[in-house]
Amino acid sequence: MSQAYLHISQVDMVFGDGAKAHPVLKGIDLAVERGQFISLIGHSGCGKSTVLNIVAGLLQASSGGIILDGREVDTPGPDRAVVFQNHSLLPWLTVYQNVEIAVAKIFAGRKTATERREWILHNLEMVHMTHALDRLPSQISGGMKQRVGIARALAMEPKVLLLDEPFGALDALTRAHLQDEVIRIQADLGNTVLMITHDVDEAVLLSDRVVMMTNGPAATIGQIMDVPLPRPRNRIALAEDPVYNHCRQEILSFLYEKQRKLESLRAPQRAAVAVQQRATA
């Protein structure tokens, strides 16, 4: 069997020590193929962003690890670019300069100044932001800021694009437009994408697979669902698609019905852990 392009391998995460130890993740194991778009979905506090931060190298797992393209990674690197919910642009730099700072760092010595400029403009063109090259972040809308953040991430040519609820702070119309842009860009580039979301419709619309996480503490993967919808996808056409609506219902069923069953099965285990923690306090 061939090795997965990205493998989150038996990852546990515990914050704190001894009686104050708080298990956040338990046995997270996920294989992602090159070019797949994967969404992680679950209730608030289930550890979705912790998984993403471990893949990004911003956190180190308590046990287990991350294999990307045959190499273990546990520190940040340009092969994993992150787009956060908050745009994270440098407020004193223009739109062009915010992308330039990443390109200069990644491609120093590999591209000439002219090539770097062409590459910056190419990536800003992909997100339709070349009209605002000289504007500061304070002079553009929230949706535009996220476009610039996506352009900056793509300009790094990462092996994996990590999206942490990138549209969560946007209004519904802007969110829909940016989702459509991500669909188009991913179709053009074939990026491998790992996205965190709370939005069921967003997960089905964008993803090849949806990974549903159980509630914490010690959250794990409760169910993985393939989304067998052909690409390119059109949100209007999908509204009445039976496959789309089946996938949507399956996620809702997990989040609000199957989750309760899992909670009841795990209750004795949690009680035992609590007793053990009190005994060692």
| Average pLDDT of the residues in 219-224 | 94
247 and 111 fall within a common domain: no
Evaluate whether residue 63 is within a structural domain: yes
Cβ atoms within 10 Å, residue 12: 16
**Count of domains forming the chain:** 2
pLDDT value of position 265: 55
pLDDT tens per residue across span 105-118: 999 889 999 999 99
| Sequence-ordered list of residues with C-beta below 8 angstroms from that of 272, at least 6 positions apart, any chain | none
Domain that holds residue 141: 88-157
pLDDT value of position 267: 54
Q: How many CA atoms within 13 Å lie on the side-chain side of 192?
A: 18
162 and 245 fall within a common domain: yes
Kindly indicate the confidence band of residue 276, based on its pLDDT and cuts at 50, 70 and 90. Answer: low
Report which of 87, 182, 61 is spatially closest to residue 126, judged by C-alpha positions: 182
pLDDT value of position 270: 53
Taking the C-alpha atoms of residue 274 and residue 129, their distance in angstroms, rounded to an integer, is: 52
Take residue 236 and report the two structure tokens written for it: 């209007």
pLDDT value of position 269: 56
30 and 73 fall within a common domain: yes
163 and 189 fall within a common domain: yes
- Does pLDDT of 1 surpass 50? no
10 and 113 fall within a common domain: no
Evaluate whether residue 61 is within a structural domain: yes
For residue 173, count CB atoms less than 10 angstroms from its CB and return exposed for 0-12, middle for 13-18, buried for 19 or more.
exposed
Evaluate whether residue 1 is within a structural domain: no
Question: Average pLDDT of the chain?
Answer: 90
- Does pLDDT of 26 surpass 90? yes
Q: What is the CATH number of the domain that holds 196?
A: 3.40.50.300
55 and 102 fall within a common domain: no
- Does pLDDT of 81 surpass 90? yes
pLDDT tens per residue across span 115-148: 999 999 999 999 999 999 999 999 999 999 999 9
pLDDT value of position 211: 97
- The whole model's pTM is what? 0.88
